[in-house]
Amino acid sequence: MHRILGYADRWTLRSGETVRIQASCDNVARYRADIVRLICGDDMPAGPGFKETVIAELGEIAGRFQPIEIGSFGLVEADPALDTGGAFAIALTIFPTMPGEGEQCLMARARPDRRAGSGLFIDDKARLLLRIGDGKGGFADLAADVAVPAQRWLRIVAGYDPASGAAFIAQRGVHGFPLDAPAGMKRARLQSLRPAETGLDLTFASVWSGREAKPRMTRFYNGRIEAPALLRGNLAESEIEALLQGSIDDATKTRVIAAWDFAQGMSGERMIDTGPHGLHGRLVNMPTRAVTGARWDGSVHDWTRDPSHYAAVHFHDDDLEDCGWETDFTFTVPANLKSGIYAARLTGLGEHAGEEERIPFFVVPAKGAARAKIAFLASTHTFMAYANSHYRTDDADMEMKSGNFLTLNPWELYLNEHRELGMSPYDTHSDGTGVCYSSRLRPLFSMQVKNRVWAFNGDTHVTDWLDATGFDYDIVTDDMIHEGGLAALEPYNVIVTGAHPEYWSTGMWDAAVEYQQQGGRLMYLGGNGFYWRHAVHPGKPHVIEVRRAESGARYWGTAPGEAYHSFTGEYGGLWRRLGRPPQGLVGVGTVATGFDFGSYYRRMKDASNPRAAWIFEGVAGDIIGDFGSKGSGAAGEEIDRADFSLGTPAHALIIARSEAHSRYFNLAPEETLFHHPTINGEEAEACYADIVFYECPNGGALFATGSISWPAALAHEGYNNNVSRITENVLRRFADDAPFEMPDDAGK
């Protein structure tokens, strides 16, 4: 299983555009490549069944293994100006998070395989280690006497004089705690060696292994590095002392070969050298930026106000931006291809005939082409956020959360063992810090079909239903809305979401507001939507960033002082905490999560209001959705309710409300200021999902179901059920050109 994995270079395509498919095969010599239109990805016995149609056969392709280089580092390419030419010193400030967990490189211009060059490391006993090698067999090192502590800022100065062999390592804690990091100064006379560094790159947080193929780097460092500098000459005691105190005197300034300032260029990957030679470098695999540095004292929380408090970069041995695989094949979207969800299907041949991989992409209408009246929103940024999630194998609380013993699926066991595929913003790095960035230039299990019915796969319940009920629709994607704003939405009478449109960038949010203001209609068929703000890299649309500030249902919380996105400088967290609660946009907002059983809705008095009665045409009885392939109820997993105090419009009609949720539903943190025994689904006063309808200006309208499990009930009994009928009634009316009239009492 998973012997074939791959990814697409882009997810949103128009006719005439080409998608490149990159694949890696684990001992699969040949595979067949097809392009399929995906209708439903859910192959669970209780679901609608897996559905796809082949639209192009691309033939057989030779499989090959393509390796991955995981782990972030800084790279300054070889330059003669880096040559020290004699005595030299290294100065930097560090915050190690996993000292003692194997040897870790802080800063090196070295090839350990050849014992060449020089570098400063943390050894496997957590001691600083200066290494020198002449590349001809001459090798010397100096280890500090005291170990570096974890989670403490330290200033370090280390130096070596090839002429005399004199070497030193000095370290001192920066500030903060009564029992601070131990100070140390170790001096020794080592062998007199000339470090063989000519032609070598300078690296931070990792060092070249000497391997020609990936992974080429080794000795990854976990932790923060700030203000690294390379200096020429033998430093006087007073110079070392000044550097240990975080200052630099004029004499020492003249020694600077290079000094990198990580407070500059915060939103990108450049490492800016403020020294005389402009030896700028780049960060590889996206270590975390906009993190607090040694100067941070709690007086600044916004890095854009004073970047000097954020002059550190946090490196992790499990950061990954881009697998960088070679392209296996391409597919150019033909002019007549209907908008929809497609995938490259890679099927193993020979002894691995059962292996298959599908790599989805979204075909959207060409600019100026005819449009359907309905668009399905593919929540591509949410799919990226779920990426390769490990919380079920890494988080000890998952059994409590689900109310079940942990049952791991084969794909979860695979992901657990294959950490080289990178993580998701639901995970913590190996050092326990939260994952902020997620890239799609790698195989993403959140995009797999025949998999957990969640994220992309869960949303195919909606496309399956659209197909089964015969509605004509186009696809729009988060990428289109983020890039194009209102223009991506305005051709459509109605936008239909999937089960979980959770992540919204500021541009996307603004576009949704404008769309509704001008009369656009929105059907929010999910739960926990419009929840987190995220940011998109300014130059790399394949990477998103999430900061989980203050509150919200989350698996890790943003560290103090780090709530502002590095990509945009925007404050992160819940839209509710940003003064824009989802209740103001879609009538409902997250109230609770629970993963044992779903429940049903009961029709409310507002359902008989003439403004909404048409929604129930053909629906008998008061109980809605007491079925479904997720938890046996249409109201489940993550649920939203109306809250007029948070912006649900005054004229909104609450036409149905769920009830009888279990004890394993618990209010989201933002719904309760403090915890107490009655915040569960059985006992809480307000732990339910609301179905809401209201009219919007200029003929628009809004319909929201407030539950992730709603789409999983659509296919029940051959799509002949009250969830399907209600959804159909609303979509038929929302797609119609006839305007909705705002009620006379709207706004009162």
Partner 1 sequence: MYRITDSDAALLAEYRRVPKKHHSLELRRLLNRLRIEPMEGKIVICVHEPHRSWFLARMGEKRGEPVQPLDNRLFTKLADAEWVLLKLRWEKHSGRPFPAGLGDEG
CB of 559 to partner 1, least distance (A): 20
Q: What gap in Å lies between CA 357 and CA 447, rounded to an integer?
A: 10
Q: Closest distance between partner 1 and the C-beta of residue 562, in Å?
A: 23
**219 or 392, CB closer to partner 1?**
392
Instruction: Tell me whether residue 45 or residue 137 sits nearer to partner 1 (CB atom).
Output: 45
Q: Which amino acid is at 320?
A: L
- Region near partner 1 per CB under 8 A, out of 241-249, 341-349, 358-366, 395-403: 395-403
Interface with partner 1 (CB under 8 A), residue from 396, 620, 673, 738: 396
The residue among 397 and 745 lying less far from partner 1, judged by its C-beta, is 397
Give residue 355's region: left, alpha or beta (phi > 0; psi -120 to 50).
beta
Rounded (10°) CA dihedral 431, 436, 439, 443: 50
Q: Shortest Cβ distance from residue 60 to partner 1 (Å)?
A: 28
The helix/strand/coil state of 14 is coil
Q: Is position 707 an interface residue for partner 1 (rule: CB under 8 A)?
A: no
Q: How far is the CB of 418 from partner 1 (least distance, A)?
A: 8
Q: State the nearest-atom distance from the C-beta of 596 to partner 1, in Å.
A: 7
Region for 71 from its dihedrals, namely left if φ exceeds 0, alpha if ψ lies in -120 to 50, beta otherwise: left
CA distances from 107 to 14, 74, 391 (A): 46, 9, 32
Among 483, 490, 596, 659, binds partner 1 (CB under 8 A): 596
DSSP assigned state of 343? E
Among positions 292-351, residues that touch partner 1 (CB under 8 A) are: none
- State the nearest-atom distance from the C-beta of 397 to partner 1, in Å: 9
Handedness of CA 600, 605, 606, 609 (dihedral sign): positive
Minimum CB separation from partner 1 for residue 395, in Å?
7
Among 151-159, 398-406, 568-576, 586-594, the segment contacting partner 1 (CB under 8 A): 398-406
| Pattern 614-653, partner 1, x by CB under 8 A | ----------------------------------------
Comparing CA positions, the residue from 614, 609, 610 lying closest to residue 728 is 614
Q: In angstroms, rounded to a whole number, what is the distance separating the alpha carbons of residues 224 and 312?
A: 6
Q: Which stretch binds partner 1 (CB under 8 A): 272-280, 386-394, 465-473, 522-530?
A: 386-394
> Do residues 691 and 509 touch, judged by C-beta distance below 8 A?
no
By beta-carbon proximity to partner 1, the closer residue of 335 and 408 is: 408
Q: Please list, in sequence order, all residues whose beta carbon lies within 8 angstroms of the beta carbon of residue 262, skipping any fewer than 6 positions away.
A: 225, 226, 227, 271, 272, 289, 293, 311, 312, 313
Among 64, 125, 211, 663, binds partner 1 (CB under 8 A): 663
Closest CA to 41 of 53, 52, 54, 57: 52
Q: How many residues bind partner 1 (CB under 8 A)?
A: 26
Distances (CA, A) of 378 to 9, 456, 500, 665, 732: 17, 8, 10, 27, 20
Count of beta carbons in the 10 Å neighbourhood of residue 269: 20
Bridge-based pairing of strands 104-111 and 202-204 is: antiparallel
CB of 225 to partner 1, least distance (A): 23
- Kindly calculate the radius of gyration of the chain based on its CA atoms and give it in whole angstroms: 28
Among 400, 613, 650, 686, the residue binding partner 1 under the rule CB under 8 A is 400
> Quick check: 108 and 207 in contact, CB under 8 A?
yes
Q: x/- string (CB under 8 A) for partner 1, residues 537-576?
A: ----------------------------------------
Residues in region 402-461 near partner 1 by CB under 8 A: 403-410, 413, 416-417, 419, 430
Closest distance to partner 1 from the beta carbon of 644 (Å)? 32
Residues 6 or more apart whose CB falls under 8 angstroms from that of 233 comprise 86, 87, 88, 89, 255
Residue 49 binds to partner 1 (criterion: CB under 8 A): no
List the interface residues with partner 1, window 18-47 (CB under 8 A): 44-45
Only segment of 303-311, 326-334, 391-399, 434-442 that touches partner 1 (CB under 8 A): 391-399
Q: Identify the H or E element spanning 417.
A: helix 410-417
CB of 52 to partner 1, least distance (A): 18
Q: Are 112 and 203 in contact (CB under 8 A)?
A: no
Residue 674 near partner 1 by CB under 8 A: no
Which of 198, 274, 304, 393 binds partner 1 (CB under 8 A)? It is: 393
Residue 405 phi, psi dihedral angles, 5° rounding:
-65, 150
Closest approach, Cβ 408 to partner 1, in A, equals: 5
Binding segment (CB under 8 A) for partner 1, from list 20-28, 48-56, 392-400, 600-608: 392-400
Q: Which stretch binds partner 1 (CB under 8 A): 134-142, 346-354, 400-408, 698-706?
A: 400-408
Residues that bind partner 1 (CB under 8 A): 44-45, 390, 393-396, 399-400, 403-410, 413, 416-417, 419, 430, 596-597, 662-663
